[in-house]
């Protein structure tokens, strides 16, 4: 009778799929031995099961490189099956093929014919040389010495003076001042060119909520500022009449009551019948005056989130460029792409569009494709890619699809023996119809290409992976290595009870781990770093679309373009604990190291964020070529409610350690927040939705004396209870609690921090990011409990070194975290 006991099979690059697969090496007669491919082993297990020989099986994979021309697909019948590295060997599953025969040619460019490309059976968007990702031919060239600040062009204004606006001035107390020369005495009608969409937040007209003062006078309330139909929909309205005398004046605009405006310009006209409708301004009557003030040309300002960006007067499929930056013939190149970091949607993502036209007379670029989703604005940074004429720097490559030729300008150290690899598949392994008990351990996954269909358009977080499991149950991916990836390393879509443990994930074109729906998964002890090589809006670990009851613990995530750990419309009762999240948001803005997007105004998640270390949350973007930063260590965005945030240590972020965006019943207690640059936290009470929140028994220490405690307007204890915290800034005698409170005493009179203390928390060694408290710390008198970080994994790696110019002009205390015992001193995949 056939046995149903577990069986072991073997795979080797020198095996044969016609053999039994039951031997680890070929027999002497070479009539039997291991299988040659994973698909062959899968089929061998299926055959054994059909014959009643086995229920559970293990396939031991011998060392070597397994290049795939097709994805290995598993079906529900393939459950209770383990693929494991044989006896500590390091097999590589490669979703690509190696390219041989490159020969040197003119101008230092090597080339090789690829018949499969010419025949149309092979195309690829990525290329790797000796394990490093190469750069498709582009302009300006990628600059490895400062990849975030250099190697970009910037969209320009059109022929008019318009095209740049001031936004994020929705806080009470935000203000700007302008110098103005008035030629003649008279009455001047004040007009504002602006965009607004405040109705979703309880107010559809900003009339009477802002003021324009002249030379410190009482000023005039600005009326008639209704919603325009969108923040990017700009309209002129007349708002007040000012009596002005000839000479020099200072105009002071201020937000008195809160609410958003996207300000493009002000106009003062002594022709009271003058009527503007667009950026093409009509002439005023003879003898009358017109004074135009571009909103961004202020001489002084205050606003912790104030942002100067290209205005919403642009379009989604075109923008203006600076003279001399582009050549018209580039738009004629087949497959030419424009990679542009739009600012119309919070600078959160990059768009990859097809370059369809460059008009040198109008200085106008036209684009097409599904990623033309955001209004493009003056100042947006961009580069052109995939044009043969731009192949001019070491590490760049280009494929002529029609001729079937690969061109490569080799990187330093290249030789005819160098390993050149291009992807052949998107997924290496998939189980698209469900799996139960499918396990992978000790394997290396390389390759797989990115695609426009990976779900990364605009705010998309991705929906694909090099290893893709749908509706999987009790599956595991452990102690594997993922590198040179085109997609997320692992995507779990639906399913429950899966384990992702002990994996290293690096050099991904997109994100790291994506849990898309499903429940009850454990993601632990993974090392995830250097993500977002192509798409920027991603997470090291993402829980999205109702994912619930998951545990994310003891992971290390660092050097990523956006989030370390993110919950995007996630479900309930997730646990985020004992993770180390460092050097995040290196290329995107309005973001957090650990972040939540909820959108439901009344939901209470029940999720806990406990015992994590979150450091150096950068939040980088740019205003033209000038750096701009917006980030929080832990960001409870989009009405996130019902979160417990406790026993975390958050150090160095631009806008503070914690952000309450408007959710209900969030409890934030017993945390340490260190060195927010603009503020230590943000309490927005967005749309006046926030209630029942708590911020108590936290240690908050910072070094910038100009920083606020909290970016917030007027609050009530019903919105948030704040008390028994310890605050410290060396040498500071008057703490600035928020926009609506001039002094800390006034803040306390409003019912906040009545029992809190101002004093040194006595960190053990803050210079080395050791924020344990000494035994005599005054925080203990407030009920603070020492935070035990013993379960947080140490990062045996030194983080990506940021160029000295990265934080130029910013009071960032340290440009990088320095961790001893370096495993990787820099991005190992940079050209």
Domain boundaries defined on the chain: 1-62, 69-93+425-577, 102-137+392-415, 153-157+314-390, 164-303, 601-831
User: Does the pLDDT of residue 65 top 80, yes or no?
Assistant: yes
Structure tokens at 192: 């504002």
Across 159-168, 232-241, 589-598, least confident range:
159-168
Q: What is the DSSP string of 273-331?
A: T----SSSPPPPPTT--EEEEETT--SEEE-TT-EEEE-TTSBTTEEE--TTS--GGGG
Q: What share of the chain has pLDDT > 70, as a percent?
A: 94
For position 351, what pLDDT does the model report? 98
Sign of the CA dihedral running 491, 829, 68, 138: positive
The CA dihedral of 18, 20, 26, 30, to the nearest 10 degrees, is -50
pLDDT at 830 over 60: no
What is the CA angle 752-758-763, rounded to 5? 125
What value does the CA radius of gyration of the chain take, rounded to a whole number of Å? 29
| H-run or E-run covering 481 | strand 481-485
pLDDT (tens digit, 9 = 90+) per residue, 318-370?
999 999 999 999 999 999 999 999 987 889 999 999 999 999 999 999 999 99
Looking at residues 481-496, what average pLDDT do you find? 98
What pLDDT score does 556 carry? 97
Cβ neighbours for 439, distance < 8 A, ≥ 6 positions apart: 81, 82, 83, 84, 475, 476, 477, 478
Q: Look at residue 609 and tell me whether its pLDDT is greater than 80.
A: yes
For residues 633 and 650, the answer to whether their CB atoms sit within 8 Å is yes
Whether residue 822 is predicted with pLDDT greater than 70 in this model: the reply is no
Long-range contacts of 812-818 (CB under 8 A, 24+ apart): 812/652, 812/654, 812/677, 813/652, 813/675, 813/703, 814/616, 814/652, 816/583, 816/616, 817/582, 817/583, 817/615, 817/616, 817/652, 817/769
Task: Tell me the average pLDDT across 490-516.
Answer: 98
Q: Do 521 and 490 form a contact (C-beta atoms < 8 A)? A: no
Classify residue 729 as exposed, middle or buried by CB count within 10 Å of its CB (0-12, 13-18, 19+): buried
Whether residue 683 contacts residue 660, with contact meaning beta carbons closer than 8 Å, is answered with yes
Q: What are phi and psi of 157, to 5 degrees?
A: -75, 165
Asked if residue 189 has pLDDT above 60, the reply is yes
- Specify the CATH number of the domain 164-303: 2.60.120.260
pLDDT confidence of residue 2: 46
pLDDT digits (tens, 9 = 90+) for 694-718: 999 999 999 999 999 998 888 999 9
CB 594 within 8 A of CB 612: yes
Q: Is a pLDDT exceeding 90 seen at residue 241?
A: yes
Whole-number average pLDDT of the chain: 93
Helix (H, G, I), strand (E, B) or coil at 687: helix
Helix, strand, coil abundance in the chain, percent, nearest 5: 5, 40, 55
Encoding tokens for residue 519? 């429940």
- 330 — phi, psi (to 5°)? -65, -35
CATH number of the 69-93+425-577 domain: 2.160.20.10
Question: Which residues are bridge partners to 16 per DSSP?
Answer: none
Please give the Cα distance from 650 to 769 (Å, whole number): 10
Q: What percent of the chain has pLDDT over 90?
A: 84
pLDDT for residue 218: 84
Q: What is the largest CA-CA distance in the chain?
A: 109
CA distances from 698 to 211, 670, 671 (A): 37, 5, 5
pLDDT in tens, 515-546: 999 999 999 999 999 999 999 999 999 999 99
């Amino acid at each position: 009778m056939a046995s149903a006991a577990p069986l072991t099979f073997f795979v080797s690059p020198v095996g044969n799929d016609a053999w039994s697969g039951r031997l680890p090496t070929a027999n002497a007669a070479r009539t039997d031995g291991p299988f040659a491919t994973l698909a062959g082993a899968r089929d061998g297990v299926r055959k054994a099961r059909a014959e009643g020989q086995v229920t559970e099986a293990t396939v031991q994979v011998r060392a070597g490189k397994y290049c795939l021309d097709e994805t290995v697909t598993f079906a529900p019948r393939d459950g209770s099956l383990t693929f494991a590295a044989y006896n500590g060997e390091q097999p590589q599953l490669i979703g690509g093929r190696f390219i041989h025969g490159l020969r040197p040619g003119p101008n230092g460019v090597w080339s090789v014919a690829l018949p499969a490309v010419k025949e149309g059976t092979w195309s690829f968007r990525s290329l790797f040389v000796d394990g490093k990702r190469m750069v498709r031919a582009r302009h300006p060239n990628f600059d490895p010495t400062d990849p975030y600040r250099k190697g970009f062009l910037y969209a320009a204004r059109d022929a008019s003076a318009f095209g740049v606006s001031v936004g994020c001035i929705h806080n009470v107390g935000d203000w700007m001042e302008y110098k103005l020369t008035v030629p003649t005495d008279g009455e001047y009608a004040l007009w504002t060119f602006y965009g607004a969409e405040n109705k979703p937040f309880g107010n559809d007209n900003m009339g009477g909520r802002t003021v324009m003062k002249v030379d410190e006078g009482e000023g005039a309330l600005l009326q008639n500022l209704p919603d325009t139909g969108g923040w990017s929909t700009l309209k002129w309205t007349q708002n007040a009449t000012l009596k002005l005398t000839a000479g020099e004046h200072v105009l002071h605009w201020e937000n008195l009551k809160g609410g958003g405006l996207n300000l493009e310009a002000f106009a003062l006209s002594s022709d009271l019948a003058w009527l503007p409708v667009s950026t093409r301004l009509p002439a005023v009557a003879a003898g009358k005056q017109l004074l135009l003030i571009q909103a961004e040309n202020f001489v002084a300002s205050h606003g912790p989130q104030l942002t100067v960006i290209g205005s919403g007067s642009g379009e989604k499929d075109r923008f203006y460029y600076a003279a001399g930056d582009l050549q018209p013939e580039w738009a004629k190149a087949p497959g030419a792409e424009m990679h542009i970091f739009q600012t119309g949607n919070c600078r959160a993502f990059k768009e990859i569009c097809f370059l369809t036209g460059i008009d040198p007379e109008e200085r106008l670029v036209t684009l097409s494709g599904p990623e033309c989703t955001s209004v493009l604005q003056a100042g947006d940074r961009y580069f052109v890619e995939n044009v043969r004429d731009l192949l001019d720097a070491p590490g760049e490559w280009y494929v002529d699809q029609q001729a079937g030729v690969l061109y490569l300008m080799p990187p330093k150290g290249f030789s005819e023996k160098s390993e050149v690899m291009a992807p052949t598949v998107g997924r290496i392994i998939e189980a698209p119809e469900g799996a139960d008990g499918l396990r992978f351990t000790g394997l290396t996954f390389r390759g797989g290409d990115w695609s426009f269909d990976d779900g990364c358009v605009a705010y998309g977080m991705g929906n694909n992976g090099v290893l893709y499991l749908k509706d999987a149950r009790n599956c595991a991916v452990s102690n594997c290595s993922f590198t040179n990836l085109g997609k997320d390393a692992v995507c779990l879509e639906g399913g429950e009870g899966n384990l992702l443990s002990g994996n290293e994930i690096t050099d991904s074109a997109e994100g790291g781990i994506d849990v898309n729906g499903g429940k009850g998964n454990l993601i632990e002890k993974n090392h995830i770093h250097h993500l977002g090589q192509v798409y920027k809006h991603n997470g090291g670990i993402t829980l999205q679309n109702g994912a619930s009851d998951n545990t994310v613990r003891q992971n290390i995530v660092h050097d990523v373009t956006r989030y370390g750990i993110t919950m995007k419309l996630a479900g309930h009762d997730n646990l985020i604990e004992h993770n180390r999240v460092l050097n995040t948001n290196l290329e995107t803005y309005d973001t957090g190291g650990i972040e939540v997007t909820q959108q439901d105004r009344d939901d209470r998640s029940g999720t806990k964020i406990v015992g994590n270390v979150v450091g150096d949350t950068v939040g980088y973007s740019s205003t033209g070529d000038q750096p701009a930063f917006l980030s929080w260590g832990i960001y409870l965005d989009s009405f996130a409610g019902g979160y417990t945030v406790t026993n975390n240590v958050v150090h160095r972020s631009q806008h503070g350690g914690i952000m309450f965006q408007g959710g209900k019943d969030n409890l934030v207690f017993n945390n340490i927040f260190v060195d927010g640059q603009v503020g230590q936290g943000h309490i927005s009470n967005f749309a006046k939705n926030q209630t029942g929140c708590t911020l108590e028994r936290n240690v908050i220490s910072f070094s910038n004396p100009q920083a606020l405690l909290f970016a917030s307007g007027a609050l009530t204890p019903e919105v948030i209870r704040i008390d028994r915290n310890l605050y410290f800034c060396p040498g500071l005698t008057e703490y600035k609690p928020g926009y609506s409170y001039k002094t800390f005493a006034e803040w306390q009179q409003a019912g906040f921090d009545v029992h809190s203390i101002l004093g040194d928390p006595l960190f053990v060694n803050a210079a080395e990011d050791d924020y344990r408290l000494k035994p005599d710390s005054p925080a203990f008198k407030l009920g603070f409990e020492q935070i035990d970080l013993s379960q947080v994994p140490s990062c045996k790696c030194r983080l990506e070194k940021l160029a000295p110019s990265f934080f130029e002009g910013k009071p960032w205390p340290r440009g990088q975290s320095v961790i001893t015992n370096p495993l990787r001193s820099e991005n190992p995949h940079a050209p």
